Structure 1
C-alpha cells in the first residue's frame, strides 16, 4: 500500500510537469507570489480510521508561479483528528493532530483545473503534550482541483507513513488567496 501511495504521488507530479508545458491556462501568474489561507475537512483512512471519525484543519500556502500554468508550493498548517469512543465504553481514544510542512508542484491541465503533488514531514501532536511520544511522518499528498485568481477548491489524499503506523485522509480544501 505504501508503494502504491508513493507511485500515485509521483504520477500526479510527473503529469503536472509534462502536461502543463503545453497548456495555456494562465491561472498562475508567472514570477509572482500568491498566499492563501484554507480550511480542510477529511475522512481518515488506514489505522486512523479505527480511532478517529473525521479531521479538520487549516492551511497556509505560499505559491510561486514559475510559468503562467506551473507553480511551486510551500504549505504548513494543522490537522486535528476527532477521536471515536472506545467500543463498549463512554471513553474516547486520545485526541491527536498533525502539523505538516510540505513542498510541491501545481500544474494547470485546462483553464482553472489543476493537478498537484506535495511531499514533506508531519509532526504528530498527541493529547498529553506537544510532540510528546509523537512520531514524525513522511507525507505524500496528490491532489486535483479548481482555482481562479482568488479561490482554490481541491480534493486530495494525504498519506502519513512511518514507524509502522501508516494512515491517511481523503479531504476537501477550500482556500482564499491573494497576490503578494
Structure 2
C-alpha cells in the first residue's frame, strides 16, 4: 500500500506540472506516428531482489501525437532479470524473462522534458529457479504493470527514467530503469 501511495503521489505531481504549464513543444506532431527502438537497464526492487539485482532489455515504442505536447504510446519488448547467486551456493538462480505490453501517455511540460505513464501486462517467459530445473511444468504468471516516468526527448533521441511495478499472484516486484531510444517519424 505504501508503494501505491508513492506511485499515486508521483503521478499527481506529474499531472499538476502538466496542467500548470503552457508549452509549445515541437517533439510531437499531432496526428502523426513515431517509432522508437530502445535499450534499457534497471535495478531490481521488491521480492525479485532476492533472486536478481539487474535487468537488461530492449523495447519498441509506437507513439501517436494527440497535440503538440501530448501523445499516446504503445510499448513492447523483452526484459531479462539476471539471476544472482543462491545463498550458500555457487549456483545462480535462472534469469526471469518477461514480455511487457503497455499503453500509456507522454506529456511534455517543457519543450524537451516529459512525464510518462504506462499501464499494461507483463508475461513471464521464465521464472526464478535454480539452474538446471526444468521449466516445462512451472507456472509462468502475467503481472499488472504500472509505470510512471520522467524523460528528455529531442527530434531523434529519448532518454527516460522510470519506476516499473509488477504485481499479481501475491508476488510484487519492480525496477528502477533507464531507457535510451532512437526514434523517427513514420
- Closer/same/farther in 2, CA of residues 43 and 2 from structure 1, 3 Å limit: same
Higher gyration radius (CA):
2
Residue number among 123, 126, 144 corresponding to 2:150 in the alignment: 144
Q: TM-score, normalised by structure 1?
A: 0.91
- Closer/same/farther in 2, CA of residues 95 and 131 from structure 1, 3 Å limit: farther
Q: CA deviation at 1:24?
A: 1.1
Q: CA deviation at 1:53?
A: 1.8
Is 1:82–1:95's contact at 8 Å kept on the other side of the alignment?
A: yes
1:178 aligns with: 184
Is 1:9–1:140's contact at 8 Å kept on the other side of the alignment?
A: no
List alignment gaps of at least 5 residues for structure 2: 128-133
More strand by share: 1
1:167 aligns with: 173
Give the CA RMSD over aligned residues: 2.0
List alignment gaps of at least 5 residues for structure 1: none
Deviations 1:72-96 (A, max 9, x none): 0000011000011111110111221
Q: TM-score, normalised by structure 2?
A: 0.89
1:157 aligns with: 163
Q: How does 1:17-166 map to 2 (within 5 A)?
A: 18-19=19-20, 22-126=22-126, 128-129=134-135, 132-166=138-172
- Closer/same/farther in 2, CA of residues 167 and 24 from structure 1, 3 Å limit: same
Q: CA deviation at 1:68?
A: 1.0
Q: CA deviation at 1:177?
A: 0.5
Query: In structure 2, what is the Cα distance between the partners aligned to 1:16 and 1:77?
Result: 29
